[in-house]
Structure 1
């Protein structure tokens, strides 16, 4: 059976992407519920370069207000005497008051790159700024932990295409936008006929057909798991709200996935930053609030960690368009009932000692990844990252 380009394309982006992705998941039987020691990581990527200074606000820093006379946040919600949080994130303030969030400031890496694409690659691959890797930190975690698994540990990304972070040398996560849509698309008669009528001895072609068959199986598996314990908890109708609802339904099933990955953006706020950031923060606030409430209601919050990051922060001074331009260091959030240290973990950004108008990082993001891998996922972070400079103790 010959694949015609127009027939291939008309089936839609999702099916095309699924077909070309090497398989990771298999429809296999797992225990009825998650093992108690099975910690889950949910990574939320703030795409576009979120402005950290207007997220966690230095309330008593005169330089901040002087350099941002048109965009400084004057009605921040107080966390401490020195730090406040953007008023569009009231649930994060509630998490802070409850001891359910940690904030790590000044996270970055040496010789920072201000290109969205390059800096995102650095963050997703956990590379040096001068190093170009084709694998991601989660993907290498899969390589290390699942090289000989009978029932491999799984990682899922809620998107049509797989991020570099999720690609390993031999193992890859699986990307999908919506379990039902993936199932319906993969089970279209065109794909069924294509797979059922395949007879070919060429190794490369045979691999693609095998991948197609596995994708069809995986789509059915994910769809059935998403229905197994579908959530009745209310979620926002936003894209992010729907993505978190999908993740929640899978966490509560017996799919036993350890890493979920999703994103929101764009935070590239060169113009009219406050309006754009407020809209995105409101969407994040409401979606995270629903997700946390759902996890708590199902006694899962102590075993689930939500981690946020952005590829870079913004410059200290505002620009002429009531926005900010590409910067360097930024903060990361960690939300869970299983935190050992809560609140603001380190000093706020130093606005007096800058590098050509940019913040100077004090915390390497690879140390954060090493901490997550070693202390949360119980993996060998030194093998996965090559990181040998210690870990944090907040988890």
Structure 2
């Protein structure tokens, strides 16, 4: 086997050359954060509707606005897209928080740059190679693996001291890990020999991980067949193994809805709701729900007005969801005005990093942790 073939196997298997061995956790479990990236820029205006601004909303979106049959009233002030109907249950049980108006000054509308800003928790004019969770995660857990990413973008965990694994799914990861294990060790290529040595260091832990999965009671919840729901099912399996991994990341793509948005957006939001609610159901039954927090984020919102193609264009501020067994349910932040637009965009109301910093301080009980000076503290979590 040459170095190229080895690296192909390693990439497919989610192998991390920086990762040592996985230390299995003690009985007490660290609180778990699940990041859910809505890749492409979710249209928040058609996700969470401010009923106090319904007239302005309908004027800005004569074809795109949701009618009465396409939305449901969450309370007297806000409605959600009908695809999120299942969110009514965690809302009624005060397990769902909606944070409005999230953004940052001088918003960048490039997909690549703006998601980098959200992943690294920087200002628009700052650059960093370190994800916003990269340095805090190793302080939280005695596990050598501090994060798992299902999918492509592991940037929130990159750089710093965090040891993370990036993979497509559990089954493929372990199958390809077996292939790495079975290859003979070369004697002439020092770089390849080093990589194989690192892989051998994690082989025993991978075997334990596979044994743990094989011993697990099957999931009690029937997860949907979408890619996102399969990722959430894999997250549930790992959480139920009690490995003390404090963070996970999953994603749904295709939120860049410039054209023919209505049906596509409905399908995407239904996938989101079905996957989140299936995970909630599973973790309630397993007893892990009080120890888990899910949080959505996206690189930007969409403009207030519809475009000429039945869709919406890159915008600024957006609403996002936090769901968990210890979330303080309710509304946080302020919904932006739909009548006071700048360059056809709403004005952001709350720095997104306020949510990040509040989560770290309250969820993981790190009261002194600071991402940036002057950020508003949100009371999001029950102690």
Does TM-score exceed 0.5, indicating one fold?
yes
What is the CA-CA distance between 1:318 and the residue it aligns to? Answer: 0.3
After superposition, residues 1-395 of structure 1 pair within 5 angstroms as: 3=2, 5=4, 7-8=5-6, 11=9, 14-15=12-13, 18-19=14-15, 21-24=16-19, 26-31=21-26, 33-35=27-29, 38-61=30-53, 62-75=55-68, 76-142=71-137, 145=139, 151-152=143-144, 154-159=146-151, 161=152, 163-188=154-179, 191-192=180-181, 194=183, 196-199=184-187, 202=190, 207-229=194-216, 230-340=218-328, 342-379=329-366, 382=369, 385-395=371-381
Between the aligned partners of 1:28 and 1:57, the Cα distance in structure 2 is 46
8 Å Cα contact 1:309-1:332 kept in structure 2: yes
Map Cα deviations across residues 280-301 of structure 1 (whole Å, 9 max, x no partner).
1111121112111111112222
Between the aligned partners of 1:228 and 1:378, the Cα distance in structure 2 is 33
Shift of the 214–71 alpha-carbon distance from structure 1 to 2, 3 Å rule, reads farther
Between the aligned partners of 1:96 and 1:57, the Cα distance in structure 2 is 16
8 Å Cα contact 1:142-1:153 kept in structure 2: no
What is the CA-CA distance between 1:98 and the residue it aligns to? Answer: 2.2
Map Cα deviations across residues 255-287 of structure 1 (whole Å, 9 max, x no partner).
111111100011000001111110111111211
Alpha-carbon RMSD across the aligned residues, in angstroms, is 2.4
Between the aligned partners of 1:150 and 1:83, the Cα distance in structure 2 is 42
Partner SS for 1:137? coil
Shift of the 137–237 alpha-carbon distance from structure 1 to 2, 3 Å rule, reads same
What is the CA-CA distance between 1:349 and the residue it aligns to? Answer: 1.9
Shift of the 215–388 alpha-carbon distance from structure 1 to 2, 3 Å rule, reads farther
What is the CA-CA distance between 1:200 and the residue it aligns to? Answer: 6.0
Between the aligned partners of 2:38 and 2:106, the Cα distance in structure 1 is 21
Partner SS for 2:83? coil
Q: Give the structure-1-normalised TM-score.
A: 0.88
Partner SS for 2:310? coil
8 Å Cα contact 2:359-2:380 kept in structure 1: no
What is the CA-CA distance between 1:355 and the residue it aligns to? Answer: 1.7
Map Cα deviations across residues 23-51 of structure 1 (whole Å, 9 max, x no partner).
336233333x443xx21111111000000
The aligned length equals: 377
Q: Which segments of 5 or more consecutive residues in structure 1 lack a partner in the other structure?
A: none
Partner SS for 2:107? coil
Shift of the 22–365 alpha-carbon distance from structure 1 to 2, 3 Å rule, reads farther
Between the aligned partners of 2:154 and 2:282, the Cα distance in structure 1 is 27
Map Cα deviations across residues 74-100 of structure 1 (whole Å, 9 max, x no partner).
121101222100001111122222211
Partner SS for 1:345? strand
8 Å Cα contact 1:24-1:171 kept in structure 2: no
Map Cα deviations across residues 316-359 of structure 1 (whole Å, 9 max, x no partner).
1100001000001111101012023x222233221111221111
Q: Which segments of 5 or more consecutive residues in structure 2 lack a partner in the other structure?
A: none
Map Cα deviations across residues 35-70 of structure 1 (whole Å, 9 max, x no partner).
3xx211111110000000000012242111001001
Shift of the 388–292 alpha-carbon distance from structure 1 to 2, 3 Å rule, reads same
Between the aligned partners of 2:158 and 2:67, the Cα distance in structure 1 is 42
8 Å Cα contact 2:17-2:199 kept in structure 1: no
